[in-house]
Amino acid sequence: MAQSLNRLKESASQTAGPYVHIGCTPNFAEITGVYSEDLGASMVNDKTKGERITISGHVIDGADTPLKDALVEIWQADASGLYNSPAEMRGSADPNFTGWGRCPTDMTTGEFRFETIKPGRVPFKDGRLMAPHITFWIVARGINLGLSTRMYFEDEEAANAEDPVLARIEHRVRVPTLLAKKDGNGYTFDIHLQGEKETVFFDI
């Protein structure tokens, strides 16, 4: 006779936060001695090629409130449109640019900020050039699976008009949710999780 296993109950599920900061950004979580600085904190150095920019913004919930415990990662090409990846077969990417960054949102203001460069254009799978863009990945408390989106630049109108990914967005009124606004020497990009201004997310 098979033994009943009713005593072995499924444990409660846990979303990404708040423990994600302990594992991914220990220095930010005030756990020192693991890394000299949190992985992804620095993307550039004084030899990095390209136009230096700052990207800042907030992850905003359905109540129009910035999340203060989100974690944001970005992945992008260098100024020549090459990725710092073993899979990059078109040439050698800038060795002084990581192409990847990670930033927790500020626990008081909810702001994230990346010091990076403006990326070059990268070919789509059919060879057409995509507009300069940066891929974003977002996790936070209440998000079971990380959300993926893209940030394009509002001042790249001609390139944006040719972009094959932007062209696939059926509801054209939602395209502006992917456009970062020029702000001095940088760009502002807010990510809306729900509501009228909900950002377009990608299933990748």
In a domain, 6, yes or no: no
- pLDDT tens for residues 90-146? 999 999 999 999 999 999 999 999 999 999 999 999 999 999 999 999 998 878 789
In a domain, 197, yes or no: no
Confidence of residue 16 (pLDDT cuts 50, 70, 90): low
In a domain, 10, yes or no: no
Scanning the chain, the segments in alpha helix (DSSP H) are 20-24, 157-162
Is 159 in a helix, a strand, or coil? helix
CB crowding 34-72: b at 16 or more within 10 Å, else e: eeeebbbbebbeeebebeebebbbbbbbeeeebbbbbbb
In a domain, 11, yes or no: no
Q: What is the mean pLDDT of the chain?
A: 92
* Domain containing residue 106: 20-192
Cβ atoms 99, 80 nearer than 8 A = no
Q: How many domains does the chain have?
A: 1
- pLDDT tens for residues 24-35? 999 999 999 988
- Taking the CA atoms of 122, 127, 131 and 137 in sequence, report the sign of the dihedral they define: negative
In a domain, 103, yes or no: yes
- How far apart, in whole angstroms, are the C-alpha atoms of residue 99 and residue 84? 6
| CATH code, 113 | 2.60.130.10
In a domain, 8, yes or no: no
Q: How many CB atoms lie within 10 A of CB 155?
A: 14
In a domain, 113, yes or no: yes
In a domain, 69, yes or no: yes
Average pLDDT over every residue of 152-160: 97
pTM of the complete model: 0.90
